[in-house]
Amino acid sequence: MLSFENTEIAFSSKSNAQLKWAHKLFKLIGNNSLVKLGKWGANFALTVGLPIKGIVKKTIFAQFCGGETIKECENTIKHLANYGIGTILDYSVEGKKTNKEFDETCNELLAVIEKAANDPKIPFSVFKVSGIGLFSILEKKIKDQKSDPEFNKILDRVDQLCKASYEAKTPILIDAEESWIQNTIDWIADLMMEKYNKQEAIVFNTVQLYRHDRLDFIKESHQKAIKNNYFLGLKIVRGAYMEKERLRAKEKGYQSPINPTKQASDSLYDNSLIYCIKNIKDIAICAGTHNEQSSLFLTELIRKHQIEINDKRIYFAQLLGMSDHISFNLSDAGYNVAKYVPYGPIKEVIPYLIRRAEENTSVAGQTSRELSLIKKEISRRRKK
């Protein structure tokens, strides 16, 4: 019987020392004042050039990142594979502004795809469209963009990545972003899916279910895929821009795209799973969630519809360093599981790490749940 309470399986990959360190780190992350102070301190240190790289690398970077380069991630990839868990290498460098920088990022992503080719330990690649093109270009309406040479450069980079993934036979996830550029990303994702998903789902769009319109969007996307004869690939998440979305909607005087309650988001997420599993012949999904109930619900849907638990069209995904009780117990039970493994130069990845710490602090119960499970396992080991 699958249980996320089994801490022996959940932390089987961690030594006693690693477990104690994780306990200390999550206690720090759970302190909102310390997180705010740490954010200020990290930004200040970067601005004035203080040597904080070593401290960051041994602490929060070690918990949530695989390394500074693809090669440095090799130990993490092998370590996770020993427990039946795949790796999604996530080049977490943000804030680039020039075409030269965007091309460099694109080349790094192509290297990830090459690494993933024919390697079952790396079941997906991933990228953000804003990582390979200007946010301001993506913000324009599609009809105003088609003749824009900068937009066409973005399209060309996306096509390079999707074509390489198609040739490598390794699916690629296009991350969701802010709602005011998401229409552009959706349009690009549809274009790529129609081009590369004729035999199977290679290109995956990401749907954020904290938005009240996204279940309808999934249904429309499915019908579009049927009409144009391609498979629909979807990464299904709750979302990561809630506070920013609400603030912008308030400032600009339009209805927020965010659900009014967490319960509404949970319901939409689970109803999306129901829809996708019912239509699994046309749809492949990667369920990116740290929510225990939704993860168990998906296992129940798989069983109800008599689908093989290791069907390659259904993956579970969590972030490295978080929710090991979900990832390792699912893998132990035979389901397809992958961890997002962020990597990149420490200085470049600090904005990602700050956001990760803030999200852990703001998500109700996330840090306390991690802590309680770690304490439970430490106690279990002492009693052995």
Q: What is the pLDDT of residue 81?
A: 98
Q: How many residues does the chain have?
A: 384
Question: Within 10 A of 13 (CB to CB), how many other CB atoms are there?
Answer: 15
| Token couple for 198 | 């004729």
Architecture per CATH, 69-343: Alpha-Beta Barrel (3.20)
| Token couple for 93 | 């460098």
The 10s digit of each residue's pLDDT in 172-219 is 999 999 999 999 999 999 999 999 999 999 999 999 999 999 999 999
Is 0.75 surpassed by the pTM of this model? yes
The 10s digit of each residue's pLDDT in 47-93 is 545 555 666 677 778 888 999 999 999 999 999 999 999 999 999 88
Domains of the chain, residue spans: 1-65+348-384, 69-343
Instruction: Give whole-number Cα distances, 96 to 49, 129, 221, in Å.
Output: 19, 12, 31
Closest CA to 352 of 23, 66, 97, 51: 66
List the end-to-end C-alpha distance of the chain, in Å, as a whole number.
23
The residue to which tokens 């991630």 are assigned? 73
Q: What is the pLDDT of residue 44?
A: 47
User: What is the DSSP track for 110-130?
Assistant: HHHHHHHTT-TT--EEEE-GG
Q: For residue 33, give every residue at least 6 positions away whose Cβ sits within 8 Å of its Cβ, in sequence order, or none.
A: none
Distance CA(26)–CA(23), nearest Å, equals 5
Question: Within 10 A of 83 (CB to CB), how many other CB atoms are there?
Answer: 16
Q: What is the pLDDT of residue 359?
A: 57
Across 93-128, b (16+ Cβ under 10 Å) vs e yields: bbebeeeeebeebbebbbebbbbbeeeebbbbbbbb
Q: What is the pLDDT of residue 51?
A: 53
Low-confidence residues of the chain: pLDDT under 70 = 29-56, 143, 145-146, 354-366
Q: What is the pLDDT of residue 48?
A: 46
Question: Within 10 A of 378 (CB to CB), how many other CB atoms are there?
Answer: 17
Q: What is the pLDDT of residue 265?
A: 94
